[in-house]
Structure 1
């Protein structure tokens, strides 16, 4: 099977997305993947820029190229102008139609993988099967990121476009049960996961060797759906605990300013790091956190870092967003204010048995349900056959568990 993935970001950015995981595993299964990048965007978004030191090695069967963007549009794309992100991505999609058509014909592509609303022009202009992956509540994200456009009718238009893409694509996946409940047609709920085998090889001693005492950490995007004000308040309440915040994004400068202003010597900001380095920091943490803001964006999210923390056998403290509560009932500690959040962290640091239970339960859950090999097998079956039955999913799960045990 040959899959073409027009990516409206940079494949070698610091953002190791679900598409990196799913498509890399499909390569391992013998399929061919073609990724076409959008140009680098001049905003503080970890997915919009290549990161220095990111592993350049690609899995066998994967090719990464560039979308051919006209010079005028490339200039517009790289100019930081507020409220133009969706417009830029839409224009890139429109101007790439001819290139994508030719690519599909030349390489005999079987499936065109789409994932974002600005890609709607590509849906009807190709001679192959189309798949739409809904990983986030895109309408809610648009409303938060561009409230002016949303109020001017953009939200209604975005809802219409999303509904159209879901209804017209040959197959559809969603990343969370919250998103699945919003859709009328039959879809495959394909959550995020973790690569246990890879993470088992990650060494956390680089951070532990610094000898800074108990460590609490966050790895991810510094974006509006993360409650960094909560993290800062918790760090102030726990001066004897070191907080490591790994990543970058549009909120990074604000967080850095607050840390400096308050003189928080127990907070370390690493900035954007290659994936292997980010995971080495996570492996050295005693407790990992998911401090999301409440709202439809976070409620409908199936956080990839949740499963990576769990695969690394870390106890987790999270705010009580809907999808995370469904997944983490009974083993994740939930708190929504600075006092309770700090208390949950202290409880894990003080009670090794509670921390071990959370860590062990999370790891077992990832192995059994949220392992990328299993998820990629289900995705493969959907793309090949148009559906994944419960029997197929169970068979795939059994096959993965056998591989893990051998």
Structure 2
């Protein structure tokens, strides 16, 4: 039996009644969907792989994306928030205590038990496999979540269960592919891609935001989530060695506290900025950085921002993340220590080999796009279903 249910749900069956036809958040009735996506990341958080892919897939399918529960208030009668992104893409934020309890509220939002595709970003949703009768189960493994800080112990077993029930496994990088192909016979590697026209706006005459426009050059910038994957000590030591360089960190904090951040006069934390604003900030960067720590959480990552920085034509400095070294060492400056970081900044600010860098970027970018990735994934799913 399911546990941690809302009081009014205590006497309901584990398997929901999908014959119900309720109004939700003013939306007329429970809807019929072609695909249900289960995602650990908030749609309105940092815009990354799930948003890029699912928004494109929704052009040809009606999709309900279910986020992790946001909790509930006993005095709140609503069972969740339904965000209507467009006619074909809806986001459900369940107001229940745990993922298993989502099954109880599903009849209010979805009218069919048998969508064509169940698409998982996190194995924590695997208990919901028992509720649906998907024609095809897809696991788009974008990160090795079991190695992240605070990962629940049961996630390892949940991933084994999901892998055993998945028909298709996609991975977000080559290292992940090599890991997952040992446990499944239908794995495809789709490294993070890029919306090149969006970030190439930084090459044009767009405005640099006021909060970095007047910073002392060179401006060395990062955007993305700031969490245990960032080498804060490396950032701190480099900033101390180069007091005349401005270091800009854009993005929300996750699983670390404000007190964990290094403080120097030349380190600027700007908080989260919207996806639409990022090209403007990139235009204000002289150099883009990826100061990732080398730890369990970064063992399998393939940073999306690598290609986004390239599309903006920015020199890039990165620590030696396996997939970055493997795929981009020809044009990304790789460092391990603060001294090497300083040397790379000094060298790149002179803009030597700029033409060579741009040609290498062009060769990489012409072979990838989120549109192409989504189309290939869609083709694989259709072929499997035949």
TM-score range for the pair, normalised by the shorter chain length: 0.7 to 0.9
Contact kept, 8 Å, 1:242 with 1:267, in 2: the verdict is: yes
Matched, 1:366 2:373: no
**Cα deviation per residue 1:210-237 (whole Å; 9 max; x = unaligned)?**
2532110011111001102111211111
Mapping of residues 247-262 of structure 1, within 5 Å? 247-249=251-253, 250-251=255-256, 253-256=258-261, 258-259=262-263
Residue 301 (structure 1) aligns with: 301
Mapping of residues 353-392 of structure 1, within 5 Å? 353-369=352-368, 371-386=369-384
Residue 285 (structure 2) aligns with: 285
Q: Do the aligned partners of residues 267 and 211 (structure 1) sit closer, same or farther apart at CA in structure 2, a change above 3 Å counting?
A: closer
How many angstroms apart in 2 are the aligned matches of 1:292 and 1:206? 25
How many angstroms apart in 1 are the aligned matches of 2:56 and 2:171? 18
Residue 38 (structure 1) aligns with: 68
How many angstroms apart in 1 are the aligned matches of 2:84 and 2:245? 37
Residue 168 (structure 2) aligns with: 171
Residue 229 (structure 2) aligns with: 225
How many angstroms apart in 2 are the aligned matches of 1:98 and 1:57? 21
Q: Do the aligned partners of residues 312 and 58 (structure 1) sit closer, same or farther apart at CA in structure 2, a change above 3 Å counting?
A: farther
How many angstroms apart in 1 are the aligned matches of 2:296 and 2:150? 13
Residue 123 (structure 2) aligns with: 117
- Secondary structure of the structure 2 residue equivalent to 1:243: strand
- Secondary structure of the structure 2 residue equivalent to 1:193: coil
How many angstroms apart in 2 are the aligned matches of 1:41 and 1:305? 31
Residue 77 (structure 2) aligns with: none
Contact kept, 8 Å, 2:200 with 2:279, in 1: the verdict is: no
How many angstroms apart in 2 are the aligned matches of 1:323 and 1:337? 19
How many angstroms apart in 1 are the aligned matches of 2:71 and 2:236? 29
How many angstroms apart in 2 are the aligned matches of 1:123 and 1:160? 14
- 197-206 or 313-322: bigger deviation: 197-206
Q: Do the aligned partners of residues 196 and 313 (structure 1) sit closer, same or farther apart at CA in structure 2, a change above 3 Å counting?
A: same
Equivalent in 135, 146, 150 of residue 145 of structure 1: 150
Matched, 1:216 2:220: yes
Contact kept, 8 Å, 2:84 with 2:91, in 1: the verdict is: no
- Secondary structure of the structure 2 residue equivalent to 1:127: coil
- Secondary structure of the structure 2 residue equivalent to 1:106: coil
How many angstroms apart in 1 are the aligned matches of 2:260 and 2:282? 19
Which runs of no fewer than 5 residues in structure 1 stay unpaired?
43-55, 74-90, 388-406
Matched, 1:66 2:85: no
Residue 159 (structure 1) aligns with: 156
- 118-127 or 331-340: bigger deviation: 118-127
Contact kept, 8 Å, 1:205 with 1:284, in 2: the verdict is: yes
**Cα deviation per residue 1:336-384 (whole Å; 9 max; x = unaligned)?**
100001111111111x242443344234312313x11111111111222
Q: Cα offset for 1:205?
A: 2.4
Residue 324 (structure 1) aligns with: 324
Residue 51 (structure 2) aligns with: 20
- Secondary structure of the structure 1 residue equivalent to 2:119: strand
**Cα deviation per residue 1:97-130 (whole Å; 9 max; x = unaligned)?**
2444775543862211111121110223311122
How many angstroms apart in 2 are the aligned matches of 1:303 and 1:63? 27
Give the number of the structure whose residues are more often helix, by fraction.
1
How many angstroms apart in 1 are the aligned matches of 2:113 and 2:362? 40
Matched, 1:239 2:238: no
Contact kept, 8 Å, 1:9 with 1:40, in 2: the verdict is: no
How many angstroms apart in 2 are the aligned matches of 1:366 and 1:125? 41
Given the two structures, how large is their TM-score scaled by the length of structure 2?
0.79
- 207-216 or 233-242: bigger deviation: 207-216
The number of residues matched between the two structures is: 334
How many angstroms apart in 1 are the aligned matches of 2:232 and 2:353? 26
Contact kept, 8 Å, 1:24 with 1:59, in 2: the verdict is: no
How many angstroms apart in 2 are the aligned matches of 1:105 and 1:113? 18
CA RMSD of aligned residues (A): 2.6
Q: Cα offset for 1:59?
A: 5.1
Q: Do the aligned partners of residues 40 and 361 (structure 1) sit closer, same or farther apart at CA in structure 2, a change above 3 Å counting?
A: farther
Residue 2 (structure 1) aligns with: 34
- Secondary structure of the structure 2 residue equivalent to 1:368: coil
Equivalent in 110, 129, 138 of residue 131 of structure 1: 138
Given the two structures, how large is their TM-score scaled by the length of structure 1?
0.75
Which runs of no fewer than 5 residues in structure 2 stay unpaired?
1-32, 73-82
Q: Cα offset for 1:170?
A: 1.7
Contact kept, 8 Å, 1:10 with 1:40, in 2: the verdict is: no
How many angstroms apart in 2 are the aligned matches of 1:225 and 1:232? 15
